[in-house]
Structure 1
Amino acid sequence: MDWQPLVLTFKLALITTLLLLVIAIPIAYWLAHTKSRIKPILETLVSMPLVLPPTVLGFYLLVVFSPANPLGNWLNEHLGIRLIFSFEGLIFASILYSLPFMVHPIQAGFSNLASSLTEASYVLGKSKITTLFKVLLPNIKPSLLTGIVLAFAHTIGEFGVVLMIGGNIPGKTKVASIAIYDEVEALNYDTANWYSLILFAISFIILLMVYVINGGYLKRFWK
């Protein structure tokens, strides 16, 4: 069995999750506190990947970033960035497709916090940035953990969007989900089974950790 697709999958999931965490925190914070009229629009855009077929998102990314498209051509000619059929393109597509899985839990965490925490921090002379990182984020650790795990697990299981934007290039864009498809097409069910079993086991362990930690089972166990 070739381990390269699995290594590439977890590399993609790790990078995507880290970037999503940086992107999602300000978005979730704004959505949780704003009263702007455009809030429903932004919430809809963030949530679109939940209902949008991945092939649709992948197709439009393929069209937009194609060298035949002005934007894709400009990125390629002036910045040397080629997002289609590249690992960088997989990262970009994965960020878009996994965005709601990171934003929604963090937004819920911010929304459930008592406003008195923020007010008390401001009264003590703390800035908004300090309040965010020293007061608010430490109080929504379960939400952060949930978002991180869901985004990571969702990225591991991506198929349609990564196939559309990245294709099937060994060592570059051929992730585990695509490798499974290839092995099934070639009637190599044993290899496909091993890929599937590994992904299943890792996904189960990751989700189990979230429920154990967020449910307080570890604290009760050590007591």
Structure 2
Amino acid sequence: LMDLQLFYRDEPLGDAWRKDFASCPKVAIACGDITDATCDAIVSPANSFGFMDGGLDHAISERFGWDLQEAVQQEIRRLPERELLVGMALVVPTGDDRIRWLIAAPTMRVPMSFNIASSVNAYLAMKAVLVAANRTPAIKSIAIPGLCTGVGRMPAYVASNQMYVAYDEVALGNHPTFLDFGEAQKHQADLNPNGMIWDY
């Protein structure tokens, strides 16, 4: 299993991670600056167009240099879709000796707060991070921030649970099998108690 380092600033997120990932020895939880991590890859919870000039992405750009934003955007422009959809991730070299790779995993299409808190985007982004890392043999350890917990304003306990479910499925191999759409709907609803399946 890959080594994960989950970095938080606000105690509620750290508490939620410690509860959800309690049985995961390959997951370390730390309070501090994620850009100070020692690992193979760092996660940017960016947007679909690779703008890295706000929030945590701004700190990442300051740490690794603004050329990294341009490199991410160039890779996105090479995609057939010309955008990095939520649920996808790109691995881009940083040129840094200590953290060699950036995993760009959008938690939103454009910077926004509306509807992100009630979404399953932290789950989708976490799955994308782990899938991309698994496809990159050089990556054995990853530093990951809270997903959707900044601009997206997703409650810490919701984001933590979504990230854990994604880890359970991708890293631990406990993929769900849905026998009917009702089971798929329940899985969706369980990921975010603040979301809705129907609006009537």
**Shorter-chain TM-score: which interval?**
0.3 to 0.5
- Output the TM-score relative to the length of structure 1: 0.32
- Output the TM-score relative to the length of structure 2: 0.34
**Whose helix proportion is higher, 1 or 2?**
1
Q: Which has the higher contact order (CA 8 A, sep 6+)?
A: 1
Q: Which has the larger radius of gyration?
A: 1
**Whose strand proportion is higher, 1 or 2?**
2
